[in-house]
Chains A and B, each alone.
Chain A
Amino acid sequence: MEQNTPLLQIENLKKYFAVGKNKVVKAVDDISFSIQKGETLGLVGESGCGKSTTGRTILKLYEPTGGKILFEGRDITGLDSRQMLPYRKEMQMIFQDPYASLNSRMTVADIISEALTIHHLGSAKERSETVAELLHKVGLKREHASRYPHEFSGGQRQRIGIARALAVQPKFIVCDEPISALDVSIQAQVVNMLEDLQHEMGLTYLFIAHDLSMVKHISTRIGVMYLGRMMELADSQELYAHPQHPYTQALLSAIPVPDPRHEKSRIVLEGEVPSPLNPPFGCPFRTRCRYCTEACAQATPQLREVEKGHWVACHLIGGGTDGAQK
Chain B
Amino acid sequence: MSENEKLLEVKNLRTSFFTHVGEVKAVRDVSFHLDKGEILGIVGESGSGKSVTCMSVMRLLQDPGRIIGGEILYEGEDLVKKSEKEMRRIRGEKISMVFQDPMTAMNPVFTVGNQMIEVIRQHRNVNKKEAHDIAVKMLGLVGIPSPEERMKNYPHEFSGGMRQRAMIAMALSCGPDLLIADEPTTALDVTIQAQVLDLMKDLQQKTGTAIILITHDLGVIAETCRRVLVMYGGMLLESGTVEEIFHHPGNPYTLGLLRSVPNPEKSRDRLEPIPGSPPDLIRPPEGCPFCYRCKYAMNKCVKEIPPLFDLSETHQSRCWLLHPDAPATDAFEKEGK
The interface of chain A, by Cβ under 8 A from chain B, is 46-47, 153-156, 183-189, 191-192, 195, 210, 212-214, 216-217, 236-237, 240, 250-262, 264, 266, 268-269, 272-273
Which residues in B have their C-beta under 8 angstroms from that of A255?
A: 190, 219, 264
Give Cα A112 to B41, complex, Å: 41
Q: Chain B's nearest CB lies how many Å from the CB of A169?
A: 25
Q: Which residue of A lies closest to B195 (CB)?
A: A268
**Contact B277–A259 (Cβ < 8 Å):** no
Query: Does B242 count as interface, using CB distance less than 8 angstroms?
Result: yes
**Contact B277–A214 (Cβ < 8 Å):** no
Query: Does B7 count as interface, using CB distance less than 8 angstroms?
Result: no
Query: Does B337 count as interface, using CB distance less than 8 angstroms?
Result: yes
Which residues in B have their C-beta under 8 angstroms from that of A155?
A: 277
**Contact B161–A183 (Cβ < 8 Å):** no
**Contact A258–B191 (Cβ < 8 Å):** no
**Contact B267–A237 (Cβ < 8 Å):** yes
Which residues in B have their C-beta under 8 angstroms from that of A266?
A: 194
Q: In the complex, which residues 220-265 of chain B have their Cβ closer than 8 Å to any Cβ of chain A?
A: 220-223, 242-243, 246-247, 256-258, 260-265
With a 10 A CB-CB cut-off, give which of A188, A255, A262 has the most chain B CB atoms: A188
Using an 8 Å CB-CB cutoff, how does the interface string of B207-222 with A read, 1 for contact, 0 for none?
0000000001111111
Give Cα A160 to B197, complex, Å: 36
- Knowing A46-B189, A153-B277, A186-B277 are in contact, say whether A260-B246 is a contact too (CB < 8 A): yes
Which residues in B have their C-beta under 8 angstroms from that of A183?
A: 45-46, 216, 278
9 nearest A-B pairs in the assembled complex, by CB-CB distance: A256-B219, A188-B273, A188-B260, A46-B189, A217-B262, A258-B218, A183-B45, A188-B271, A260-B242
The size of the chain B interface, using a CB distance under 8 A, is 47
Interface SS, A side = helix
Q: Which residue of A lies closest to B47 (CB)?
A: A183
Which residues in A have their C-beta under 8 angstroms from that of B265?
A: 257, 259, 262
Which residues in B have their C-beta under 8 angstroms from that of A273?
A: 189
**Contact A256–B217 (Cβ < 8 Å):** yes
Which residues in B have their C-beta under 8 angstroms from that of A262?
A: 222-223, 265
**Contact B246–A46 (Cβ < 8 Å):** no
Which residues in B have their C-beta under 8 angstroms from that of A237?
A: 267-268
Which residues in B have their C-beta under 8 angstroms from that of A184?
A: 45, 216, 218, 257, 260-261
**Contact A260–B222 (Cβ < 8 Å):** yes
**Contact B243–A260 (Cβ < 8 Å):** yes
Which residues in A have their C-beta under 8 angstroms from that of B278?
A: 183, 185
The interface of chain B, by Cβ under 8 A from chain A, is 45-46, 159-162, 189-195, 197-198, 216-223, 242-243, 246-247, 256-258, 260-265, 267-268, 270-275, 277-278, 337
**Contact B267–A192 (Cβ < 8 Å):** no
**Contact check: which of A192, A250, A253 meets B271 at CB < 8 Å?**
A192
Q: Chain B's nearest CB lies how many Å from the CB of A127?
A: 28
**Contact A258–B216 (Cβ < 8 Å):** no
Which residues in B have their C-beta under 8 angstroms from that of A186?
A: 45, 273, 277
Give Cα A262 to B256, complex, Å: 20
Q: Chain B's nearest CB lies how many Å from the CB of A255?
A: 5
Beyond the given A216-B262, A261-B247, please list 5 additional residue pairs across the A-B interface where CB-CB is below 8 A: A154-B46, A192-B270, A237-B268, A254-B193, A257-B265
Which residues in B have their C-beta under 8 angstroms from that of A236?
A: 268
A-B contact pairs, 17 of them (CB 8 A): A46-B189, A46-B192, A183-B46, A184-B45, A187-B260, A188-B274, A189-B275, A192-B271, A192-B273, A210-B190, A213-B261, A217-B262, A217-B268, A259-B222, A260-B243, A260-B247, A262-B222
Give Cα A20 to B45, complex, Å: 42
**Contact B261–A258 (Cβ < 8 Å):** yes
Give Cα A173 to B278, complex, Å: 29
- Knowing A186-B273, A237-B267 are in contact, say whether A257-B222 is a contact too (CB < 8 A): yes
Q: Chain B's nearest CB lies how many Å from the CB of A282?
A: 20
Q: Which residue of B lies closest to A253 (CB)?
A: B194
Q: Which residue of A lies closest to B226 (CB)?
A: A260
Which residues in B have their C-beta under 8 angstroms from that of A272?
A: 159, 161-162, 192
Give Cα A154 to B278, complex, Å: 11
Which residues in A have their C-beta under 8 angstroms from that of B162?
A: 272
With a 10 A CB-CB cut-off, give which of B46, B194, B246 has the most chain A CB atoms: B194
Which residues in B have their C-beta under 8 angstroms from that of A250?
A: 191
- Knowing A184-B257, A264-B223, A272-B159 are in contact, say whether A254-B191 is a contact too (CB < 8 A): yes
